[in-house]
Each structure stands twice: as structure tokens, then as C-alpha cells.
Amino acid sequence: MSELWGLTAHEAQAGLRAREFSAVELTESVLARVDAVEDRVNAYITRTDEVAREQAREADARFAAGTATPLTGIPFAVKDLIVTKGVRTTAGSRMLADFVPPYDSHVYEQLTRAGAVMVGKANMDEYAMGSSTEHSAFGPTGNPWDPERVPGGSSGGSAAAVAAGECLAALGSDTGGSIRQPAALCGVVGLDPTYGRVSRYGIIAFGSSLDQVGPIGRDVEDVATILDGIGSHDPRDSTSDPSPRPDVRHYLGRDIAGKRIGVPREYFVEGMEPGVRARIDEALARLESLGCEVDTDLSLPMTEHALAVYYLIAPSEASSNLARYDGVKYGLSERGGSGMWENMEQTREQGFGDEVKRRIMLGVYALSAGYYDQFYLKAQKVRTLITEEFREAFTRYDALVTPTTPEVAFRRGEKLGDPYAMYLNDIYTLPSAVAGLPALSLPCGLSEGLPVGLQVIGDVGAEGAILQIGHAFEQSLGQANRLAPL
């Protein structure tokens, strides 16, 4: 790939350090690529070309001064629920269409301190509620492998931008699969870290006990490098883990022979596409050829309850978090009613999309008097059982391997009329999210010409172990830079 926009982040970093090209030249190459393909992809809600150019000039000054980091000069897409001072942050919603934050999120602070370059704010399902990036007030995002298909969601803009060459790497967020599922459907690599590994300060909330920011890149090395760059402790987030964080890049390149891999049979259910099943079976055989001990006789019976647990807990937390949008303090404000309450109703009617309203209603119902114990409290108890089941499995295995999704990217509009069918697309990513575990999705081949994702789940804090396995698998395939044939 001769164009600079086609490099991985670590390839670009090597070229920048060798003075083969400048950060400004790299950024201009990416911006030209955005100009060329964005009308077909719609990966960005807000482009930040001038911000990117200024940051690129600053990055070149860092290289000249010898103070560059592994992320200096790398063009990023930033999911549009990550707060950025002076740059509008919409969460994909009409409610925040004109919101310009007065402060930066922790993860964006980390990027700017490292000298990274922000190309723009990536499109997403409204308030991260969706699996297809069709629930955006700013139009749907197309999958770069086939723009008539969805890129997954809710971080679909971030994944599509990486796959299309509209950035070299991206930040997304994962509540129930919103990094891993779009990474799988777009043929790139995505990591949902352990809950608490990355600060949620400055992240527009969906489900506070589930939300987690994570990296999306074209290969495992890039994802590991980004996690090292954004994963520091933050006292402004009460859930931020203060434990020491050794760099996970040190795990890459290590032999995985002898690693114990569990394959839960509950993840191989009716409804999985034959092509997906075939690629996963091939991936398991490849892991065995690399010396892993693969056990396909593992059972995690609580897995089947994860979908119900998630769709009680996440909407309940969403109904609480989104109550702040009342048309008074910030965001959309409709003032045509006869009084405060009518204005609030009109603001929410006009500001929220259908999927957000659906989940708010689910959450309000689950938390209402007479139903709290029956639904929300019971879901939290089952969540504990799911977590304990995973904990027991990791006494026997170093990692669990599953499909990321049961199917390849589906066509736009195919599932919009059937919310349950849409929710089932996250059935393999929800259990680890409910348990707060780290999980990696990486490409393992194609089915009908579209990418298939392999998911590697680790124990709490075991990002290094799953990245080690993912990197070894990736290197054995000989595929380390996956650009869509847009």
C-alpha cells in the first residue's frame, strides 16, 4: 500500500521516526482519503480538519525535539460520545446536535498528551443504543466492504473509518458489544477492556455499570499500543481501577504453545450462519496447530440468560442517565408548550429517536414500583451468577474463544422492524460485558466475501493474555492490515 492512509499505526510510527514522511503529510493523506470515500461511508458526524492539521504540526515538532510517543502523529477517529473541548459532541442525537463541551474527556486528554491527531468525531447509534449505526440522527454509516450493508454498532463509524482508511485507528465504546461487533463486521480489530481499566470521565453515559472505552485498529499491535496510551488511572472516575498497569505490548510476540483455550458450546447455537461456523472451526484448528490446548467440551449454562439480563440492566441505567435531558440546562430545548412539563415532554419527543425511547420505557418499567424486585433486582442477581461462572472457568482456562457475531454484516433496514432480531446480533458479546471481562475481536477470514470475527475473552485484567493469543493467531494468518475493498 503506497498511500500513507493505508498504513497501520505502528507502520506509520516507524515511518515518522525514520523521517520518511511527516505527520502533516500523513494527516493530509488521510484527509484526502476522507474526501474521496466519505460520501459512501458516512463515518463522521463532525470533521475536524483544521484541528487535525494543527495537531499534526505539533506532532512534527515533537519528533524534531525527540519527545514523540508511540501515538504521536497518528490520525484517529473519536466516537462522538467522547467529550472534546470546543468540538461538538452529539452522541448521535438531535438532543445534543449543537452541544460544544467546555472540557475534555480523560481518554481524549490522553490522546492529546501523546500527540495523536483527531480527524473527526465518528458516527454512532444514538446514545450508543444500537447494533447497526442506523439509529443516528446524522444518517446511517455504510460498511466499507459493502456500503449497502451495516457496519455494526454502536461504534460503527469508528470501525468503518478504520476499515476504509479514513483514519489509522479509532476510539469506540462498548456497553454490550459496541466495539467488538462492528470490528467483526468491518474486518478490523477491537478490544473491550476490563471494566474500570479505562476512565469513563467525559463519556456520555448509556449504562454506567457496563460502558467502557476501547481501541479499534487494523491489527492487534495497534490495539495494544492504544490501550497502553489511554488506560491510566483517573481519580475523577470512581470506578477507575487504581491497580498498576504494565504495558500490554510486552505480551505480543510470545509463544502461545500450552495455552488452555475453552470453547463454550452455548455460543454455537441455531441461527449461526454456516460460513461463520466454518471460519470459527478453522480458527480453532489453527490455534491447536500453534500449540494451544483447545477444549470444546466447556459449558457455561448461564450464558443463555445474558441477553435478558443486559436488556433489563442497561435500559434501567439508561432511563436514569437520560433523565438529565430536560431542555433546561443544555441540549435541545423546546419552548412551545404551555408550561415547564409540556416543554420537557416536547423536548424529549423531538430530541430522542425511537430506539432510545424504547429503551427508556423498558428501563422505567423495570425500575417502577412493584416491578423492581421482579426485574431489575433479579437481573442483578443473575449477573452475579454469570460472573461467578466465568470466574470458575478461568481457573481452568487461560482464555475462552467464541464467534464475535452469529452472522456477517446484514443489509441496511433488514432488522430495523424487528428489535429482537437486532438485539440477537450481540448475543455472543453480551455475556463478557455483563461480567466486566476484557474481550478482543479480530478477523478470522471471510464468508460470502464479508469479514468474520473471532472473539477471545479473558479473565479480569488479562488484556495481555488475550492480546498475546490474538497476535499469534493474526501473525500465523499473515494478515496484519485489513483494508476494505471500497
Q: State the SS3 of 311-327.
A: HHHHHHHHHHHHHHCCC
The neighbour count for residue 139, using CB atoms within 10 Å, is 12
How far apart (Å, rounded) are the C-alpha atoms in residues 462 and 368? 38
Distance CA 305, CA 321 (A): 24
Closest among 21, 56, 30 to 168, alpha carbons compared: 30
Architecture of domain 4-252: Alpha-Beta Complex (3.90)
Query: Where are the chain's structural domains?
Result: 4-252
- Output the average pLDDT for the chain: 96
pLDDT the model gives residue 1: 40
pLDDT score for 244: 87
* Separation between Cα atoms, residue 68 and residue 78, nearest integer Å: 21
For residues 56 and 224, what is the distance between their CA atoms, to the nearest angstrom? Answer: 22
How many Cα neighbours within 13 Å face the side chain of 155? 39
- Reported as a pLDDT band with limits 50, 70 and 90, residue 480 is low
Cβ 117 vs Cβ 76: under 8 Å: yes
In the chain, the amino acid numbered 105 is S
Give the DSSP H or E segment for 356.
helix 354-367
402-419 pLDDT tens trace: 999 999 999 999 999 888
328 pLDDT above the threshold of 50: yes
Please report, rounded to a whole number, the percentage of residues in the chain having pLDDT higher than 90.
91
CB 298 within 8 A of CB 434: no
pLDDT at 481: 62
- Letter for the amino acid at 113? R
pLDDT bucket at 2, cuts 50 / 70 / 90: low
Strands 169-174 and 212-217: antiparallel
Q: Is 354 exposed, middle or buried (0-12, 13-18, 19+ CB in 10 A)?
A: exposed
The answer to whether the peptide bond before residue 154 is cis (omega within 30 degrees of 0) is: yes
DSSP 133-199: S-S-TT-PPPBTTBTTB---SSSHHHHHHHHHTS-SEEEEEESSSTTHHHHHHHT-EEEEPPTTSS-
Q: Are 290 and 472 in contact (CB under 8 A)?
A: yes
Q: What is the spatial distance between Cα 58 and Cα 73, in angstroms, rounded to a whole number?
A: 8
DSSP conformation class of 484: -
203-241 pLDDT tens trace? 999 999 999 999 999 999 999 999 999 999 999 999 999
Query: Active-site residues: which are they?
Result: 79, 154, 178
pLDDT in tens, 84-130: 999 999 999 999 999 999 999 999 999 999 999 999 999 999 999 99
Three-state secondary structure call for residue 2: coil
Could you tell me the three cell numbers for 175? 456497553
Residue 319 CA: distances (Å) to CA of 303, 312, 352 = 25, 11, 12
pLDDT at 185 over 80: yes
The per-residue pLDDT for range 271-293, each reduced to its tens digit, is 899 999 999 999 999 999 999 99
Place of cell 499505526: 9
Q: CA 289, 293, 299, 303: dihedral to nearest 10 degrees?
A: -70
CA distance 29 to 52: 12
Mean pLDDT of the region 51-79: 98
List, for residues 422-465, the tens digit of each pLDDT value: 888 899 999 999 999 999 999 999 999 999 999 999 999 999 99
Question: What are residue 443's DSSP bridge partners?
Answer: 453
- The whole-angstrom separation of Cα 195 and Cα 179 is 14
